[in-house]
Chain A
């Protein structure tokens, strides 16, 4: 397959096409799957390629449609169920938590539930309290689920194919602000969810940054800028929050002794807290400074342009935390660089015209 530059949304689309070709019984549905906008273009052309038996729009019945994917899975029909907002999937929590997550365990491993539930996190443009939650920690808290958070087109493609062919229920969380990011995607022959749990995106000796999803994009900007000033951060992008292998994070913190965790979820009992907890319990003596967590306040997301102004942490806030961790008191060039960046705070870039 040619390795071309594609967007994150296109990588979702191509992963779906690859999987639907590979498994002739696989189905793909969710509200908007076959509508003119195709769930932010991610389900484009699927219906014409694979037919309306396998690719279809659905009634607004999130709970039943999740249960339906479980039933289909019991007869070896894999599903990808898409929700345009993670918040909508809350109507399906009985099926996700009581059924999908537990089915394999509570029936003594007699059957399994290979389903992939795509949940899109919204942000900005007044999405507000119930259209922009980051609920990955909630799903990580449920035994039996796998939770996947891609951060770029390459890992999105790899992880989505791996999720679809994993024999377990997978919560696949896409940040809406990632959909337009583009990069080269190299296609492999084999995909395995257990092997791609995290990736070190940047090597460094000064401190370890652990991030995920859109937070990784923001971190990467900061890390690259700080390199110009001789500050080298080790950036670890977590792609599979559960089940996660901690070795690489442990080894990195052993090396740097300093840890910053950046989460898109809320501050309390979040995944970021879990990382700090594991590190503190396992390698406390290696820590040179108290670890720091940057996450969202324990508050619903407000709507108004005025209220969201400084609601999300900025790149300079990331730098501020880094400075505390590495005991740096001087003003950095990176700080003034990011300060000068103009534009609206509620869109990922001026080019972004929605759909939101």
Chain B
């Protein structure tokens, strides 16, 4: 059991890592002509949740959504084609990297305004209640969203109606270049503050994906629709720049020590070490398999056509 889970976690995490890094490698060729917000270094949370979220559950996310979309089972081909602006993209080229959707796995959308999908996720939770279905709604957002009024409005409503909603705050300490300490009082813990609103609220770092998985499994009871809502704060760290394919340590807005500390605790390496200790399969075979499928998805995206120009004026209203 443990072995199986470790390998699943590794596959999920490596798929995200390799995809993000391949985007980074190819981005400067100028074929992906939209802003990108990479999750490199932050994948552990999405990877762990990929083993927790059921297909029937809903998920929504924000501008940095590649990892969440993939962890929910969203089509990689369609995601890459969307970033390339192609007609085969998940949003037919109308959304780009910041507007991902795959309704076939109930990934209901990611948007580009901080905090914007938090109430949307709560509404999905409300719809489960109205339809009397056991479907939880997972809402991904960052530490910046905690500063938006709509966050409090949404949490309050979810608590009031006891909705099957799981709020997941990925605290990477930065809103673009602005550190948390410039934005929130230094001694305040996000999860503690949110807990005072009377919601089950938990905290963990995200160095060890296996620990994280067990932690989540232990805390979340998806069998009981009335067990929600939940709030989780996870600390993690973005390796690359806020928006774009590069590293940005030259800007010197982040502490070098901090940076190295996080890089040295790479969740992928942590997982790899664990798996090697158990003398499991040769990981390089698994890696190679993932790399091949990711590269073929890139090929699909690059070979796909742009939508017809006339499509720009269509699809404003649903019929």
Contacts and interface: CB of A to CB of B under 8 A. Distances in A.
A96 B61 CA distance: 18
A231 interface: no
Interface residues of B, number: 45
A204 interface: no
Given A54-B130, A63-B149, A107-B99, A144 B317 contact: yes
Contact of A67 (B108, B116, B160): B116
Contacts of A71: 60, 108, 119-127, 137
A25 to B, nearest CB: 6
Interface stretch (B150-158, B212-220, B262-270): B150-158
B95 A111 contact: no
Interface string A6-38: 000000000000000000010100000000000
Contact of A64 (B89, B127, B157): B157
B101 interface: yes
Contacts of A99: 111, 116-117, 120
A72 B135 CA distance: 12
Contacts of B95: 106-108
Contacts of A3: none
Contacts of B101: 107-108, 110-111
A177 B80 CA distance: 53
A59 B125 contact: no
A77 B58 CA distance: 14
B73 to A, nearest CB: 15
B113 A108 contact: no
Interface string B82-124: 0000000111111100010101000011010100111111111
Interface string A97-138: 011000111111111111000000000000000000000000
A68 B95 CA distance: 21
B94 A95 contact: no
Contacts of B125: 71
B131 interface: yes
B128 interface: yes
Contacts of B176: none
B318 interface: yes
Nearest to B103: A110
Interface string A53-88: 110001101011111111111111100000000000
Q: In this complex, which of A59, A103, A106, A143 has the most chain B Cβ atoms within 10 angstroms of its Cβ?
A: A106
A154 to B, nearest CB: 25
Contacts of B153: 59, 61, 63-65
A274 interface: no
A59 B99 contact: no
Contacts of B319: 167
A251 to B, nearest CB: 25
Contact of A53 (B124, B130, B317): B130
A302 interface: no
A69 to B, nearest CB: 6
A103 B94 contact: no
Contact of B157 (A65, A112, A168): A65
Interface in B275-309: none
Given A61-B157, A71-B124, 8 more contacts: A64-B157, A67-B117, A71-B125, A104-B315, A107-B101, A111-B103, A111-B108, A144-B317
Interface of A: 25, 27, 53-54, 58-59, 61, 63-77, 94-95, 98-99, 103-114, 143-144, 146, 167-168, 243
Interface of B: 58, 60, 89-95, 99, 101, 103, 108-109, 111, 113, 116-131, 137, 149-150, 153-154, 156-157, 160, 315-319
29 contacts: A25-B130, A63-B119, A63-B149, A64-B119, A64-B153, A64-B156, A67-B116, A67-B117, A67-B122, A68-B120, A68-B157, A70-B119, A74-B109, A74-B123, A74-B124, A75-B124, A75-B131, A77-B126, A94-B150, A95-B116, A98-B111, A99-B117, A105-B94, A106-B91, A107-B94, A108-B315, A109-B318, A111-B103, A144-B317
